Amino acid sequence: MSENNSKWLNIGIGAFIILAIVLLLILILPFGNLAMEQNEIAVISIGGTVTYDSSNSTKAFTSASQIENALDDAISNPNVKAIVLDINSKGGSEVACSEIAEDIKNSPKPVIAYIGDKGLDESYLIATSADYIIASSSSSIGGIGLSFMDSGKYSKEKLTGVYNENYLKLKKSNNTDPDNLANGQKMIDQDYTQFIKKIVENRDM
């Protein structure tokens, strides 16, 4: 595909996504009885790595408190009739994302999750808690995985079951305590089961 054709394809995909969001909002919002200025849409950006620590709120990080405060403001504002989550994140803290997901599920106002470039791992959990999910066919979605860190030494990607380099090095190390390794694996398996359960419940699967 030529560069020019690729450019127009991306423009077409972007236009389709915008149109889909607009049509969805038209179906959700009660335009018939309210003036347009009373039908505001709150857009909450979730980018970079989602953290629990509010001191990490930068372009590369988004804190749970930052998202939760924005969500509370949107819910308490009577003029806001719908909330759009603009997600472009590779994931982050499972605890932080789980709390955000619960707040979204409890929102009395409709929530639309728009996944831009990526909505991976824990950020995908956030998306599944929304009423609607919109994404491009070229968006990176899902990639469900968990990592367990032992002094920063190892992790395991649970979606594919493939061990990364650090985990393999730890397994081959003569200094590795087999009990610690087994306990770490048990924790990964338990957390992964709970992670999948949350996604299944969010999407009524």
Same domain, 25 and 67: yes
On the question of pLDDT at 190 being above 70, the answer is no
Task: Kindly state whether residues 72 and 161 are assigned to the same domain.
Answer: no
Instruction: Calculate mean pLDDT across residues 13-34.
Output: 53
Examine the domain organization and report whether 102 and 186 are in the same domain.
no
**Are 101 and 163 found together in one domain?**
no
> Do 60 and 88 belong together in one domain?
yes
The residue written with tokens 């694996």 in the block is 185
Share of the chain above pLDDT 70, in %: 47
CA–CA distance, 172 with 134 (Å, rounded to integer): 43
* Average pLDDT score over residue span 97-116: 92
- Distance in angstroms (rounded) separating the CA atoms of residues 173 and 107: 48
C-beta of residue 112 within 8 angstroms of C-beta of residue 84 = yes
Residue 41 has pLDDT above 90, yes or no: no
**In which band, very low, low, confident or very high, does the pLDDT at 15 lie, cut at 50, 70 and 90?**
low
**Nearest residue to 74 (alpha-carbon basis) of 110, 33, 22:** 110
Are 120 and 75 part of one and the same domain?
A: yes
| Whether residues 136 and 178 fall in one domain | no
Structural domain for 204, as ranges = 150-205
Q: How far apart are alpha carbons 75 and 105 in whole angstroms?
A: 12
pLDDT band at 75 (very low <50, low <70, confident <90, very high): very high
| Among 26-30, 113-117, 134-138, 178-182, the range of highest mean pLDDT | 113-117
Residue type, 25: L
Q: Indicate if 97 and 12 belong to the same structural domain.
A: yes
Domain end, chosen from 143, 164, 191, is at 143
Geometric angle at alpha carbon 27, from 122 and 88, rounded to 5°: 25
Query: Does residue 99 share a domain with residue 195?
Result: no
Nearest to 47 by CA among 38, 39, 55, 56: 56
C-alpha separations of 153 from 168, 169, 186 in Å = 10, 9, 16
Quote the tokens at residue 135.
């994404």
Please give the pLDDT value at position 151: 37
Looking at the fold, whether 167 and 137 belong to one and the same domain comes out as no
DSSP 28: H
Would you say residue 38 has pLDDT above 50?
yes
120 and 199 part of one domain: no
C-alpha triplet 98, 100, 106: angle, nearest 5°: 105
What is the pLDDT, as a whole number, of residue 165? 40
77 and 175 inside one domain: no
pLDDT at 110 over 70: yes
Domain limit, last residue, from 119, 143, 167 = 143
C-alpha distances in angstroms, 59 versus 44, 63, 87, 104? 14, 11, 13, 22
Lowest mean pLDDT among 33-37, 103-107, 172-176: 33-37
Number of domains in the chain: 2
From the list 159, 102, 157, the residue with the least C-alpha distance to 128 is 102
